[in-house]
């Protein structure tokens, strides 16, 4: 990849993918845990909370911690004080001040870990749906471009027709009909976004078909399948690469829309779209809940189009 833009895009994508893959290994809080709905509710970004570490290693969060003379602790949560006996408190570093880098949501869940774990769902859906769209479009485009005639005409009419359906209307209907899971979401998005790839590959196949090396391969007795795979497809790798990168970003967007509408991957999995949906009702008093996942989506989609530019201008 040459140039600053494509490299930056690749770096952003790689960073997000690494974070997503490494999520179980990272020192993150449980993304679904609601350890304290009162103290941790809707904390703004970069908030430190007072807490006491217990002997079993768990944390007790509080609005205020008072050290008692006997070594025990008094915790205030809201207006209520509770006492923790000295023998329940951890021996070393009992007083903790855990930091919530991106803040918490309305249930006191840590947004930083929800964002990283959400990246797994969003990126997996985006990458798999893009792969499916490009593969499906590639096969349809190759078939149309190489077969020509009535086959070509039919396939291209279907492509045109599929392009003029407002995708989200169809997807919302389908997502409601088929119980959503990561697999069905990928299938639904992939099967409604293959059209650009089909058009691009068809154009490449048509220009390759007229060239001498395809005639030579045919004269040598190559099967149509072999001609398509070994002689024509390599000509379409650049357009397919560009389309795959763009499609990755667009699929992340489509998945986010479905999840935002509550028709995406079901809980306990949460994609960036569902995180934005979580923040929708709290937008007035806790803007950060919806802000972070949106920023993450923008970064990934911008990065994908930068990478697409890089592929277009030659690897």
Cβ nearer to another protein, comparing 151 with 283: 283
CA 255, 261, 265: angle at the middle one, nearest 5?
50
**172 or 222: CB nearest another protein:** 172
Note whether 200 and 239 are within 8 A (CB): yes
Is 314 buried (19+), middle (13-18) or exposed (0-12) by CB count in 10 A? Answer: exposed
Q: How far is the CB of 118 from another protein (least distance, A)?
A: 13
Point out which residues bind another protein (CB under 8 A). 157-158, 160-161, 163-170, 172-179, 249, 253, 256-257, 260-263, 273, 276, 279-280, 283-284, 287, 290-291, 293-294, 297-298, 301-302, 305
Backbone angles phi, psi at 16, to 5 degrees: -65, -40
Dihedral sign, CA of 203, 208, 211, 217? negative
User: Which tokens is 88 given?
Assistant: 């329940």
Q: At its nearest, how many Å lie between another protein and the CB of residue 17?
A: 18
Q: How far is the CB of 170 from another protein (least distance, A)?
A: 5
Alpha-carbon torsion 308, 258, 16, 129, what sign? negative
What's the closest the beta carbon of residue 290 comes to another protein, in angstroms? 5
- In this structure, what token pair is assigned to residue 163? 């392009």
Nearest distance, CB of residue 245 and another protein, angstroms: 13
Query: Do the Cβ atoms of 310 and 241 come closer than 8 Å?
Result: no
Least distance from another protein to the Cβ atom of residue 41, Å: 19
Q: Based on CB atoms, which residue is closest to another protein, 173 or 215? A: 173
CB-nearer residue toward another protein: 35 or 279 = 279
Separation CA 49–CA 301 (nearest Å): 34
Q: Would you say 35 or 141 has its CB closer to another protein?
A: 141
Residues written for the chain: 315
* Nearer residue to another protein within complex by CB, 75 or 265: 265
The smaller minimum CB distance to another protein, of residues 168 and 217, is found at 168
CA distances from 85 to 15, 54, 91, 204 (A): 45, 10, 12, 75
Shortest Å, Cβ 263 to another protein = 7
Query: Which residues partner with 80 through β-bridges?
Result: 77
Residue from 205, 200, 207, 307 nearest 248 by CA: 307
């Amino acid at each position: 990849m040459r140039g600053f833009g494509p490299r930056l895009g690749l770096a952003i994508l790689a960073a997000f993918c690494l974070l997503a893959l490494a999520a179980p290994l990272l020192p993150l809080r449980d993304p679904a845990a609601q350890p304290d709905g009162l103290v941790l509710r809707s904390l703004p970004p970069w908030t430190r909370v007072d807490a006491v570490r217990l002997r079993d290693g768990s944390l007790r969060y509080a609005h205020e911690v008072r050290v008692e003379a006997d070594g025990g602790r008094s915790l205030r949560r809201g207006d209520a004080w509770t006492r923790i006996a000295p023998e329940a408190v951890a021996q070393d570093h009992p007083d903790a001040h855990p930091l919530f880098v991106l803040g918490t949501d309305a249930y006191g869940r840590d947004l930083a870990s929800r964002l990283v774990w959400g990246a797994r769902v969003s990126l997996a859906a985006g990458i798999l749906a893009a792969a499916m769209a490009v593969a499906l479009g590639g096969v349809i485009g190759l078939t149309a471009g190489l077969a020509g005639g009535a086959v070509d005409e039919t396939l291209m009419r279907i492509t045109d027709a599929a392009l003029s359906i407002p995708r989200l209307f169809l997807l919302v209907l389908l997502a409601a009909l088929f119980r959503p899971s990561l697999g069905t979401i990928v299938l639904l998005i992939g099967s409604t976004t293959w059209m650009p790839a089909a058009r691009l590959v068809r154009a490449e196949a048509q220009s390759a078909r007229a060239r001498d090396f395809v005639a030579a391969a045919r004269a040598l007795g190559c099967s149509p399948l072999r001609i398509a795979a070994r002689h024509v497809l390599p000509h379409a790798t650049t357009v397919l690469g560009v389309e795959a990168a763009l499609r990755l970003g667009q699929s992340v967007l489509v998945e986010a829309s479905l999840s935002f509408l509550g028709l995406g991957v079901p809980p306990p999995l949460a994609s960036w779209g569902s995180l934005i949906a979580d923040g929708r009702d709290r937008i007035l008093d806790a803007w950060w809940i919806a802000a972070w996942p949106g920023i993450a989506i923008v970064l990934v989609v911008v990065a994908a189009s930068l990478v697409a530019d890089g592929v277009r201008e030659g690897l």
